[in-house]
Amino acid sequence: MDQRTTIGCVALGRMARRFEVPIAFSRAEPGVVGEPQRAFYGNQFGNTFPLFEHWDVPLWVPEVGGPIDSVNEAHDMIMSTFGSFSKGERNRIKTRVRTTMAALAQTQGRFLGGRPPYGYLLIDARPHANPAKAADGKRLHVLAIDEEAAEVVQRIFIEFLAGYGIYAIAERLTAEGIACPSAHDPGRNRHRCGPAWSKGAVRAILANPRYTGRQVWNRQRKDEVLIDITDVALGHLTKMRWNEADKWIYSNEIVHPPIIDDQRFQQAQQLLAAKNARHVVRRPRTSPRAYVLRGVLFCGICNRRMQGTWNNGQPYYRCTFPSEYAHTNQIHHPRTVYLPRSRTWLRRGRRSRPRRWPASGTRSSSVTGGSPSTRPHSTAEAAPPSWANGSPKPRPGNSRPKHAYAPRSAPRRT
């Protein structure tokens, strides 16, 4: 910071948001905020200004007429007022946008973005209704039936109403070699591995009202939750949560070709509600659980991202592929693959490139770190069943070991 630096996008601290507000500062020259009502939101000024003081950077605001004095009550009140203005304007913009989107979905049945449901394709319809956006080349899109996938959707509803369970349907589809949604359109589902049908995919199809031909909006919402209730200065995280069914917005008319009629869809919803009658209420955690390797560890057997879990007072990473996907596939996978997080392993991981962990003991396990492009492709030959290495074969009825643990690193002697 010895020379003048212009920053176009400011993110000071974990609580700050990104703003396109020009702020120039250095040790010798003060920082100047052209629009303080856009630079700080809520209480962000009080949380970020200590950073300027720590680096001895004066912060100039035109409304103050000079640098901000941290001990001046009037300056603090002015900046707090700007934060309140910014928060209020943000809430008003959010209300206007949501109101407009609800009206477009209900009265016009407009497709409002996102990936089309399995069974549909997204096709071009016409130029955008807004002349300014149409002049920029933006166009509107509508849903059209994907014949191959639509037949699978109809079959899922027929079998579910005939008495087959969600897991049984996933098993039957996988056994017959029918591609799951992520394998049917890999370009649209790059974040999925696609080896088999999952219970979640079947359940999502059964619960999606857009298969009746109506546009549906506001099924989910974004909630801002505290990162740590014991330290509110850390700010909030945005989480997607499901709204109650009575808050969903339906189009008044049928706006795209239906795959399932209303009567069959309602029967499926009643059957789903009967199966999911038991609700478990979980008490929120009082403190966060830190998983430092979240999102960077992948199972080397199924190529899926591993989940963080807390066992015996310490963090673990696990892969529960067989409990979520159909078993009738070419992947031999233990019921659960566990990876304990140890300090020795972390030190070792920082110095070495992501690699595949060898099998340990009598049970095989494989964990890979890094991006999907650096991970090995998982095949049945690359990850043989544990009893292929001379281990005792499991009892009949249990085709795969219950758990597999990744090896612990030996402690380094000093």
- The CA-based angle 404-407-410, given to 5 degrees, is 160
260, pLDDT greater than 90: yes
- Both 177 and 267 in a single domain? yes
Picking from 188, 211, 202, 44, the residue whose alpha carbon sits closest to that of residue 120 is 211
Domain finish residue from 42, 72, 87: 87
Are residues 320 and 399 both part of a single domain?
A: yes
**14 and 63 inside one domain:** yes
User: Based on the structure, what is the number of domains in the chain?
Assistant: 3
| pLDDT, tens digit (0-9, with 9 covering 90-100), for 10-30 | 333 333 333 334 344 444 455
Domain residues for the domain of 301 are 297-405
Same domain, yes or no, for 341 and 383?
A: yes
Q: Which residue has the higher pLDDT, 170 or 290?
A: 170
Q: Give mean pLDDT, residues 356-383.
A: 42
Same domain, 328 and 374: yes
The DSSP element (H or E) to which 102 belongs, if any, is: helix 73-103
Higher pLDDT pick, 407 / 18? 407
Give the residues across from 224 on adjacent strands: 238
Mean of per-residue pLDDT scores for the chain: 75
Do 185 and 306 reside in the same domain of the chain?
no
Looking at the predicted structure, is the pLDDT value of residue 224 above 50? yes
Is the pLDDT at 154 greater than 90, yes or no? Answer: yes
User: Which of residues 287 and 31 earns the better pLDDT score?
Assistant: 31
Do 204 and 309 share a domain, yes or no? no
- Bridging pattern class, strands 216-217 and 220-226: unpaired
The verdict on 258 and 316 lying in the same domain is no
Question: First-to-last CA distance in the chain?
Answer: 40
| Close Cβ partners of 180 (under 8 Å, ≥ 6 residues apart) | 173, 174, 194, 196, 197, 198, 201
- Distance, in Å, from the CA atom of 70 to the CA atom of 62, rounded to the nearest integer, reads 16
Q: Is there a single domain that holds both residue 145 and residue 271?
A: yes
**Nearest 5°: phi and psi at 234?**
-70, -20
**What's the average model confidence in pLDDT over 218-229?**
88
pLDDT band at 241 (very low <50, low <70, confident <90, very high): very high
Residue 282 falls inside a structural domain:
no
User: 135 lies in a domain?
Assistant: no
Residues above pLDDT 70, as percent of the chain: 70
Q: Residue 133 falls within a domain, yes or no?
A: no
- pLDDT band for 278, please (50, 70, 90 cuts): low
Cα–Cα distance, 13 to 16 (Å, whole number) = 6
**Of the candidates 338, 333, 329, 334, the residue with the CA atom closest to the CA atom of residue 306:** 338
Residue 144 has pLDDT above 80, yes or no: yes
Average pLDDT of span 236-257: 92
| H or E element, residue 96 | helix 73-103
More confident residue, 68 or 348: 68
Per the CB < 8 A criterion, the answer to whether 211 and 230 are in contact is no
Give the CATH number, domain containing residue 170: 3.90.1750.20
According to DSSP, the residues that pair with 223 across neighbouring strands are 239
pLDDT at 101 exceeding the cut of 90: yes
Does residue 240 lie in a domain region? Answer: no
Give the list of residues 6+ apart from residue 258 with CB closer than 8 angstroms, or none: 211, 212, 213
Q: What is the pLDDT of residues 162-207, one digit of tens each?
A: 999 999 999 999 989 899 998 888 877 776 767 789 888 999 999 9
Report if residue 382 sits inside a domain. Answer: yes
Instruction: Supply the DSSP string of 141-169, one letter for each residue.
Output: EEEEE-HHHHHHHHHHHHHHHTT--HHHH
Based on the domain organization, do 81 and 167 belong to the same domain?
A: no
Domain co-membership, 303 together with 339: yes
Average pLDDT over residues 61-82: 84
Q: Check residues 382 and 371 and name the one with the higher pLDDT.
A: 371
- Is residue 251 within 8 A of residue 105, CB to CB? The reply is yes
Q: Is residue 230 part of a domain?
A: no
Higher pLDDT, 192 or 150: 150
Does residue 225 fall inside a structural domain? no
Structure confidence at residue 166 (pLDDT)? 92
Distance (Å) of CA 254 to CA 86, 107, 247, 261, 354: 40, 11, 19, 11, 51
| 351 domain residue, yes or no | yes
Residue 218's pLDDT is what? 93
Q: Which amino acid is at 338?
A: Y
Which pLDDT does position 266 carry in this prediction?
A: 94
Nearest to 271 by CA among 156, 152, 153, 163: 163
Q: Is residue 384 scored above 50 in pLDDT? A: no
* Per-residue pLDDT tens over the stretch 309-365: 888 878 888 888 888 888 766 678 888 888 776 643 554 444 444 444 443 333 334
pLDDT tens for 77-95 read 888 888 888 888 889 999 9
Residues 211 and 260 placed together within one structural domain of the fold: yes
User: For 102-134, how does the pLDDT look when each residue is reduced to its tens digit (9 = 90+)?
Assistant: 999 999 888 988 889 999 999 998 898 888 888
